[in-house]
């Protein structure tokens, strides 16, 4: 036994000491109670309904007092409150105290006890599942959508729900159990089946509580169409046969019961609206036998599909009038004959039997039968004609109706186009007006078909259309008439497919002669000599000038000379007096000049100046010659020919006679003298010259054959012998030779002549015309010469030339060596 304060109890008794003993002991859980009913929880388990509130009190005995914990948490009181219990649970009550003994020893004691709660709850909304055994063993939830089941099928419904304790099931049909089997479903089978689930909850505090709930499954019973009912215009026909007239409208109702609703199709055509076949304006090509078919597709909730079908046939006969073929409008030329046939595209049902022809403008029948014939047709026969064809029809209503078809034809009598009149200001054929006046041209025509009218200006050989319309009247206004542009011939043309009619009208505008703006003159012409040239001057004038009103002039020097017709100049005036021509038949050099024409009428005159220029390839150079001969050079001179009106240049070619090819010297100069150097001594050369301008080239001149000079004495033995023989007497002989030569020339009087170039004034004017071509040497191109005498000074100069010339040296040498010749 433990002691207190160091004295045990025996000692205290012996000494009669009064002691207070505090006995300490650990906690002991003596009672558990719930919901303030002091219901002791003996087996530590309670049964409660889901959602109840629970108070559990944990009572303990301990010294010192114990502290109570629930599930490890310290609470202020020993009572545990649980709000709205939802699930089974276990709560642990723990009582703890701490004991301090007299000797200071501290000890802690814990005692625990568990409380279990069993939660009871009633059934919720049961879940109904189903299966259709013939399809599969699968289960489907039937809570929301109706269960589709085909008539004759079997369906199994299963009801299930969660509850504690488990529920029992009862169906609205009285069947007990969770499974309801419906065999061979019919159209009268109930479409709603209710399942009720119920259980009894034995609670610890409220006793027995009953829980229940219901759910239902809807069935959608599918079945195919069976019989079809027909309605014709809201009347049930006795027989499915009837006659209707083309163009009538009627409705056939085809109805059948099925689930789902059937689809309706017809073997014919026309409009279909649901189960109604609406025939509007019934046609002749409608099917004689029209079949209505009602059809649906039944697909149950298990996925099985079955097609249900039924049909009925209606026989129809359509009565319709004949149909006259559309008649084409007829066009016939006046005085011809015409035949029109009233043909049918449909003969009708029954066939047509009555025909007639009516002239519509007078409303009178003019013939019977299918054919209309009009002979020798007149303009009065033009009009609209109608063909009528009819038959007799008796439909199902037994009333008699006549079918009528008709077609019209317009007979158009045509004739060729022609111009009635073409005038201006009440004047026909022609009119003359002053410049600036307004002229109105009016063309009136007729024709069928309506003609196309054209007012045209046909003055200058072409047809310039001023107005073009389709109709019978055309107008054209000329504002402020001008001589240049408006004078002339105008044509009104009326044209259709049969004929073309024309009428002319001449418009004359008074004016002074002037150059035509449509044919401006070419005032500068070029020509080669001996060619012909034609100057043309086209004018506009009224009154028209005569040939006496036309004067041509030619410029000679600085004055104008009147030209008249001769062998070389021809002056002409065109038939319409609007074109004046001057023809130079054979152009000569003196014809290159200016020409002027003056044209006048009573209102005034006009002038135009023309220029004739030369234009040809140059002539061949004249009188080519060698003016000087040397050992290695030659000087060539020539006289230029006619330059063709263009600047001319010259080309020289030469070669060794009988050998070699030509060597070309394209000197391209306008000089008439040239030195050919670099030649070989004592060789004969052949030389030719030609001229060229931008138009072409002349022929080559006749070849000149010339031999270059050789040395006077050979360098061989002969030269040495001669030199030795004449050594001392050379000077005397030379003087004597000079005297002899001078004496001989004196005997001849030194009356030598020389060809001198001179300028010919007679071609001065021609040179003026071609001077613009850039040839500065044309003053000598005519190649004319005169003989001139040599004066005293010239004779002396000429003598010196002779004495110093190569020929003199040769002469002296011959004279010297002659005595020594054998």
pLDDT in tens, 107-141: 888 888 888 889 999 999 999 888 888 766 666 77
Confidence class of residue 634 from pLDDT cuts 50, 70 and 90? Answer: very high
Q: Which residues pair with 631 in a beta bridge?
A: none
Half-sphere exposure of 592 (CA within 13 A, CB side): 25
* Band of residue 799 on the pLDDT scale cut at 50, 70, 90: very low
> CB of 453 within 8 A of CB of 472?
yes
Q: What is the mean pLDDT of residues 609-622?
A: 90
- What region does 761 belong to: left with phi over 0, alpha with psi -120 to 50, or beta? alpha
Q: What is the pLDDT of residue 264?
A: 87
Q: What distance lies between CA 441 and its chain's CA centroid? A: 45
Tell me: pLDDT of 531 over 50: yes
pLDDT of residue 630: 92
- Are both 9-120 and 622-707 of the same fold? yes
Write the pLDDT tens digit of every residue in 375-425.
999 989 999 999 999 999 988 777 889 989 999 999 999 999 999 999 998
Question: Rounded to whole angstroms, how far apart are CA atoms 82 and 88?
Answer: 12
Non-local CB neighbours of 273 within 8 Å, separated by 6+ positions: none
What mean pLDDT is predicted for residues 178-187?
90
Lowest mean pLDDT among 103-117, 179-193, 370-384: 103-117
Of 277, 227, 270, nearest in space to 252 by CA: 277
Under the banding of pLDDT at 50, 70 and 90, the label for residue 607 is: very high
343: three-class secondary structure by DSSP: coil
Q: What is the DSSP letter of 807?
A: H
What are the pLDDT digits (tens) for 560-593? Answer: 999 988 888 999 999 988 899 999 999 998 899 9
Task: For residue 621, give every residue at least 6 positions away whose Cβ sits within 8 Å of its Cβ, in sequence order, or none.
Answer: 638, 639, 640, 641, 650, 689, 690, 691, 698, 701
**What local confidence, expressed as pLDDT, does residue 267 receive?**
78
Q: How far from 440 is each of 108, 111, 474, 486, 730, CA to CA, in Å?
A: 144, 141, 11, 12, 114
- Domain 622-707: what homologous superfamily? Immunoglobulins (2.60.40.10)
The pLDDT of residue 808 is above 80 = no
At 456-476, the pLDDT tens digits run: 998 877 788 999 999 999 999
410: exposed, middle or buried (Cβ count in 10 Å: 0-12, 13-18, 19+): middle
pLDDT band at residue 670 using 50, 70 and 90 as cut-offs? low
Task: Report the pLDDT value the prediction gives residue 529, as an integer from 0 to 100.
Answer: 87
DSSP 81: E
| Residue 536 neighbours by CB distance under 10 Å | 16
Residue 615: pLDDT band with limits 50, 70, 90:
confident
Helix axes 806-817, 792-804, angle to 10 degrees: 60
| Burial class for 702, CB neighbours closer than 10 Å (0-12, 13-18, 19+) | exposed
Q: What is the pLDDT of residues 730-786, one digit of tens each?
A: 343 444 444 444 444 443 333 333 333 333 333 333 333 433 333 333 333 333 333
Q: What pairs with residue 201 in β-bridges? A: 209
Q: Compute the average pLDDT of residues 1-11.
A: 45
pLDDT at 743: 41
- How far is the CA of 688 from the CAs of 382, 456, 622, 624, in angstroms? 94, 66, 11, 8
Least confident of 543-547, 581-585, 812-816: 812-816
CB of 169 closer than 8 Å to CB of 180: no
The domain 323-413: what is its CATH number?
A: 2.60.40.10
- Give the SS3 label for residue 418: strand
Distance between CA atoms of residues 124 and 84, nearest Å: 17
Highest-confidence segment of 64-68, 107-111, 197-201: 197-201
The per-residue pLDDT for 527 is 87
pLDDT range class, residue 35, cuts 50, 70, 90: low
Is 70 exceeded by the pLDDT of residue 517? Answer: yes
Average pLDDT, the chain: 80
For the purposes of burial, counting CB atoms within 10 Å of the CB of 32, is it exposed (0-12), middle (13-18) or buried (19 or more)?
A: buried
Compute the distance between CA of residue 505 and CA of residue 430 in angstroms, rounded to an integer.
5
So what's the pLDDT on residue 56? 83
pLDDT above 80 (res 516): yes
Q: What is the pLDDT of residue 806?
A: 41
pLDDT, mean of residues 73-84? 80
Residue pointed to by tokens 């024309």: 502
Q: Does domain 516-614 have CATH number 2.60.40.10?
A: yes
Q: Are strands 289-299 and 263-266 parallel, antiparallel or unpaired?
A: antiparallel
Percentages of the chain per state (helix, strand, coil), in multiples of 5: 10, 50, 40
Fold of the domain built from segment(s) 127-222: Immunoglobulin-like (2.60.40)
Token couple for 132: 């259709």
Q: Please name the CATH architecture into which domain 9-120 falls.
A: Sandwich (2.60)
pLDDT recorded at residue 271: 61
Which range among 30-39, 670-679, 686-695, 705-714 shows the weakest confidence by mean pLDDT?
30-39
Is the N-terminal amide bond of 64 cis, ω within 30° of 0? Answer: yes
- Report pTM: 0.39
Determine what percent of the chain is predicted with pLDDT higher than 70: 78
Q: Tokens in use for 153?
A: 């099928």
Report which of residues 208 and 101 the model is more confident about.
Answer: 208
* Res 671: pLDDT: 67
Residue 462 has a pLDDT of: 79
Q: 472 and 389 in contact (C-beta within 8 Å)?
A: no
Q: pLDDT class for 60, splitting at 50, 70, 90?
A: confident
What is the average per-residue pLDDT within 224-242?
Answer: 74
Considering only CA atoms, which of 127, 178, 131, 129 is closest in space to residue 300?
A: 131
Determine whether 5 is exposed, middle or buried from the number of CB atoms within 10 Å of its CB (0-12, 13-18, 19+): exposed
- Give the contacts of 128 (CB within 8 A, at least 6 positions apart): 141, 142, 143, 157, 158, 159, 193, 195, 215, 216, 217
Domain residue limits, the chain: 9-120, 127-222, 229-319, 323-413, 425-511, 516-614, 622-707, 717-819
Tell me the CATH class for 229-319. mainly beta
- Compute the half-sphere exposure of residue 700: CA atoms within 13 Å on the CB side of its CA: 12
Residue 79 pLDDT grade (very low, low, confident, very high; cuts 50, 70, 90): confident
CATH number of 425-511: 2.60.40.10
């Amino acid at each position: 036994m433990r002691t207190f304060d160091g004295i045990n109890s025996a000692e205290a008794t012996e000494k009669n000491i009064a002691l207070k003993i505090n006995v300490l002991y650990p906690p002991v859980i003596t009672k558990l109670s719930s919901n303030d009913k002091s219901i002791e929880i003996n087996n530590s388990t309670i049964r409660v309904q889901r959602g109840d509130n629970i108070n559990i009190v944990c009572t303990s005995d301990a010294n010192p007092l114990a502290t109570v914990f629930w599930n490890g948490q310290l609470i202020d009181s020993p009572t545990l409150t649980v709000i709205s219990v939802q699930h089974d649970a276990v709560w642990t009550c723990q009582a703890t105290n701490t004991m301090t003994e007299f000797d200071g020893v501290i000890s802690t004691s814990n005692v625990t006890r568990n409380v279990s709660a069993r939660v009871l709850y009633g059934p919720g909304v049961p879940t109904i599942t189903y299966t259709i055994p013939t399809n599969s063993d699968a289960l489907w939830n039937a809570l929301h959508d109706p269960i589709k089941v085909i008539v004759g099928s079997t369906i199994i419904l299963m009801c299930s729900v969660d509850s504690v304790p488990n529920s029992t099931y009862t169906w609205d049909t009285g069947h007990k159990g969770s499974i309801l089997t419906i065999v061979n479903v019919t159209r009268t089978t109930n479409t709603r089946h209710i399942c009720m689930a119920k259980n009894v909850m034995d609670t610890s505090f409220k006793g027995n509580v009953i829980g229940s709930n219901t759910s239902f499954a809807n069935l959608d019973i599918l079945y195919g169409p069976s019989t079809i009912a027909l309605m014709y215009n809201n009347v049930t026909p006795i027989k499915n046969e009837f006659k209707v007239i083309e163009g009538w409208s009627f409705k056939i109702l085809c109805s059948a019961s099925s689930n789902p609703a059937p689809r309706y199709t017809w073997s014919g055509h026309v409009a279909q609206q649901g189960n109604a076949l609406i025939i509007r304006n019934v046609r002749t090509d409608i099917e004689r036998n029209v079949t209505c078919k009602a059809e649906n597709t039944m697909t149950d909730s298990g996925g099985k599909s079955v097609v249900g079908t039924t049909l009925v046939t209606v026989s129809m006969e359509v009565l319709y009038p004949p149909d006259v073929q559309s008649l084409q409008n007829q066009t016939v030329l006046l005085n011809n004959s015409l035949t029109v046939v009233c043909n049918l595209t449909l003969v009708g049902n029954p066939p047509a039997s009555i025909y007639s022809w009516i002239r519509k403008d007078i409303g009178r029948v003019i013939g019977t039968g299918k054919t209309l014939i009009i002979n020798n047709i007149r303009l009065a026969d033009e009009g609209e004609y109608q063909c009528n064809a009819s038959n007799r029809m008796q439909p199902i209503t037994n009333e008699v109706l006549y079918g009528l078809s008709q077609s019209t034809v317009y007979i158009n009598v045509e004739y060729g186009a022609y111009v009635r009149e073409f005038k201006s200001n009440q004047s026909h054929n022609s009119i003359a007006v002053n410049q600036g006046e307004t002229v109105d041209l009016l063309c009136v025509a007729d024709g069928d078909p309506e003609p196309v009218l054209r007012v045209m200006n046909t003055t200058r050989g072409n047809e310039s259309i001023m107005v073009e319309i389709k109709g019978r009247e055309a107008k054209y206004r000329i504002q402020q008439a001008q001589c240049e542009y408006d004078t002339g011939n105008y044509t009104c043309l009326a044209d259709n497919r049969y004929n073309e009619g024309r009428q002319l009208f001449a418009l004359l505008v008074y004016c002074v002669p002037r150059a035509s703006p449509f044919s401006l003159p070419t005032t500068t012409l070029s020509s080669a000599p001996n060619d012909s040239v034609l100057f043309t001057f086209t004018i506009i004038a009224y009154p028209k000038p005569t040939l006496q009103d036309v004067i041509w002039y030619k410029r000679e020097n600085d004055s104008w000379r009147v030209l008249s017709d001769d062998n070389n100049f021809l002056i002409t005036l065109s038939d319409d007096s609007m074109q004046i021509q001057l023809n130079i038949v054979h152009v000569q050099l003196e014809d290159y000049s200016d020409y002027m024409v003056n044209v006048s009428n009573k209102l005034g005159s006009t002038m135009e100046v023309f220029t004739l220029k030369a234009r040809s390839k140059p002539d061949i150079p004249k009188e080519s010659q060698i003016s000087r001969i040397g050992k290695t050079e030659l000087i060539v001179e020539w006289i230029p020919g006619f330059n063709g009106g263009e600047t001319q240049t010259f080309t020289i070619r030469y070669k060794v006679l009988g050998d070699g090819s030509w060597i070309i010297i394209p000197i391209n100069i306008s000089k008439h003298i040239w030195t050919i150097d670099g030649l070989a001594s004592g060789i004969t050369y052949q030389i030719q010259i030609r001229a060229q301008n931008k138009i072409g080239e002349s022929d080559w001149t006749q070849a000149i054959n010339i031999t270059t000079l050789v040395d006077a004495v050979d360098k061989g033995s002969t030269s040495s012998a001669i030199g030795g023989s004449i050594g001392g007497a050379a000077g005397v002989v030379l003087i004597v030779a000079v005297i002899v030569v001078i004496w001989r020339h004196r005997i001849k009087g030194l009356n030598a002549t020389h060809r001198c170039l001179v300028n010919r004034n007679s071609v001065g004017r021609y040179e003026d015309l071609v001077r613009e071509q850039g040839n500065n040497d044309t003053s000598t191109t005519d190649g004319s010469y005169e003989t001139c005498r040599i004066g005293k000074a010239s004779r002396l100069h000429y003598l010196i030339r002779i004495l110093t010339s190569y020929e003199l040296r040769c002469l002296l040498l011959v004279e010297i060596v002659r005595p020594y010749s054998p």
